[in-house]
Structure 1
């Protein structure tokens, strides 16, 4: 197996500084070329590129593999002309030595752009990019920026919100106070990042197709989702109405208002979640694949979660005297007893749901075993 180790110099720095025509072929010729280029410009990264080509060729030779080391360059003032000149040199090497594959050695992004030109003429097994150690951080940053700018999705996620923010900043600073302007800019930038980070754009793009498929397929869940959305609005509305203005300010007043909202909104929110899960459960029952265990657990989990959350909200309100003591079978319940009752109720409901789901799953497994 013959491998061509090819050092690529698209800008013809090697040929110009050494005063030699390319291609340069052979171990001794390339090693002599390293000395000529190094003496002409010791700071030239092409010296490292040539040495890397020699090292790769030596390693292949140590592995008992035939290798040919060569240097090609683009001898022309224009990029198109340089690439054509480089392609002609590669064609000449392929015709003369007939290698089976190539290992391309480059030292810059510009040289790496001609890899497809070489690949169209010869199979490339590897591209060896040489980065000078002193400039490693700068070179790595350049390649990262290059990859970033080449990714359309990353550009739209980062650069578009950042550019819109920079355009908006002067307008806000001229019309509002700096604190308000920076607050608005931060909110807009955060909303844009969350919009992309949570894939809300994909969800909105796919929503019309999903709704259309659901309507055409006759799914019950599409109706129950609409009902659940209405119940959610009702719960939020009633929760907001239940918040009473309190004297004083600070964390305690905010906490009490939040607990009032949660206490009155949770039943409606739980009912909305139950309605949505009921529609999904009906779709599973109507389908031919049967009901999965997670859909059986979901309604019980919603009820259990609603009981626990309402219990903690009621505990806060009863401690502050906003909520009157609960009465169970003519017994007045304290705040702790009321909370314990709700927690126990939530655990019981959750256990019942798990047990029912497990029983139904076992029955389905037995039926499948009997059918087989």
Structure 2
């Protein structure tokens, strides 16, 4: 059985410059072909590819292996025609020679696309890519850029934002200072990278279909999500209004931020509670059991909202922005007592949620075991 050392030329540079038709088989024939191609174009990398094929053949023969060298090339102007021409020449070599495996020698990324064609007919033991040493960096960069430009997704992800940014940069420089223009451009590119990196485009493209399916299936969560979005907007709006009250100092950042959190957290927590309740109702309607995470989520939302509001109220009361909390119209709480009450209430609610979810899951597990026992006994 013979190992075929195959030099592949997809663009038919060897055939055009030597004037010979492929396949060319045999040590002497390929050695003569090297001279013809080298005299026609000494700078062609095909010369190095042919020499590498001869070198690999000599090494295999030195190791007492039966090796034969051959050259095949595409003889058509079209890409499909060239690949089919290479396939026909390879079929001729397989038919005329008792070939067991092949070592493919190539000199470009374009020729490497023919490796699957060879693999469909022979077992490929190795692929030897020849790069001219003096032009290694240039050629590697060229093929990387060529593959990059051929990828439509990479072009739309990288080149389009860069192009938009470069078009906006002169307009920003005309209207604003260079620092503001560069900051705006960096913010734009950062937003694009986050948009693609977080797969927001995929989420937005799938959102209409998910909403349509949810509406057709009658899921309660669609309505509760809409209500939650409205409550979140109300909470953010009220928080912004609280920041702009006359009693706050606009030059300070901490107090307005705490006021925003204090006034918006109840509405945001109510929005999250509404969304989680809708999800819980969907689980109850769609299946007989409810997962522990969905059962525990509303209690966790309430507990987190209480703790965050308690911390914000404690800090604001220490700064004199809030009056002391009064319980039942009689009991005045200090800032530390307010904080302790909110944290303690949050922990209790969280523990109640854990207990309820565990109880429900245990009952569900018992029902499953009983149903399984009943089914086995009926059999």
Q: If the length of structure 1 is used for normalisation, what is the TM-score?
A: 0.82
In structure 1, C-alpha distance between the alignment counterparts of 2:370 and 2:54, rounded to whole Å: 71
1:342: which partner in 2?
A: 342
Tell me, in whole angstroms, the C-alpha distance in 1 between the residues paired with 2:300 and 2:274: 13
Change (3 A) 1:349 1:16: same
Judged with a 3 Å threshold, the aligned counterparts in structure 2 of structure 1 residues 68 and 37 are, in CA distance, closer, same or farther, namely: same
CA contact (8 A) 2:299 2:353 kept: yes
Report the secondary structure of 2:6's partner residue: strand
Gaps of 5+ in 2: 373-379
Establish whether residue 71 from structure 1 lines up as the match of residue 74 from structure 2: no
TM-aligned CA deviation for residue 157 of structure 1:
1.3
Q: Distance in 2 between matches of 1:135 and 1:347?
A: 68
The correspondence of residues 130-209 of structure 1 with structure 2, limited to 5 A, is 130-132=130-132, 135-209=135-209
Q: Is the 8 A contact 2:248 2:255 kept in 1?
A: no
Measured after TM superposition, the shift of residue 98 of structure 1 is: 5.8
Write out per-residue CA displacement over residues 109-161 of structure 1, whole angstroms, 9 at most, x where no aligned residue: 23335556666776767644333455444444333323322222222111111
CA 1:2 to 1:315, structure 2 compared with 1: closer, same or farther past 3 Å?
A: farther
**TM-fit CA distance, 1:12:** 5.3
Please, which moves more after superposition, 192-201 or 318-327?
192-201
Contact 2:300 2:353 (C-alpha < 8 Å) held by counterparts: yes
Cα pair 2:250 2:256 within 8 Å, conserved: no
Say yes or no: does 1:363 pair with 2:363.
yes
Distance in 1, matches of 2:62 and 2:290, equals 64
Number of residues paired by the alignment?
Answer: 369
Report the Cα distance in structure 2 between the residues aligned to 1:219 and 1:62, rounded to whole angstroms.
74
| Alpha-carbon distance in 1 for matches of 2:223, 2:21 | 77
- CA shift in 2, pair 1:25/1:262, >3 Å: same
TM-score normalised by the chain length of structure 2? 0.81
Q: Please give the residue correspondences for 1:1-372 in structure 2 after superposition, counting only pairs within 5 Å.
A: 2-10=2-10, 22-27=22-27, 30=30, 45-50=45-50, 52-54=52-54, 67-73=67-73, 89-97=89-97, 99=99, 102-115=102-115, 127-132=127-132, 135-243=135-243, 244-245=245-246, 250=251, 253-288=252-287, 290-328=289-327, 330-372=330-372
Distance 1:35 1:125 in 2: 28
Deviation for aligned residue 1:53: 3.4
* Counterparts of 2:134 and 2:357, CA distance in 1: 64
Counterparts of 1:82 and 1:303, CA distance in 2: 68
Distance in 2 between residues matched to 1:51 and 1:365, nearest whole Å: 73
Whole-angstrom CA distance in 2 between matches of 1:223 and 1:283: 11
CA offsets 1:40-92 (integer angstroms, 9 cap, x no match): 9887544543454356557777999764321234578x567877775664454
* RMSD, aligned α-carbons: 3.6
SS of 1:159's equivalent in the other structure is helix
After superposing the two structures, state which structure 1 stretch, 21-30 or 221-230, moved more. 21-30
2-structure distance, mates of 1:354, 1:136 = 64
- Tell me, yes or no, if the aligned pair for 2:225 and 2:275 is still in contact at 8 Å: yes
Deviation of 1:291 after TM superposition, in Å, equals 0.9
Residues 1:283 and 1:147: Cα distance change in structure 2 (over 3 Å): same
> Which sits farther off after the overlay, 4-13 or 147-156?
4-13
Higher mean alpha-carbon deviation, 208-217 vs 277-286, is at: 208-217
Take 2:300 and 2:54, find their aligned partners in 1: how far apart are those partners?
Answer: 68
Aligned-partner SS, 2:253: helix
Output the CA distance in 1 between the equivalents of 2:132 and 2:247: 69
CA distance in 1, matches of 2:265, 2:82: 72
SS at match of 1:173: helix
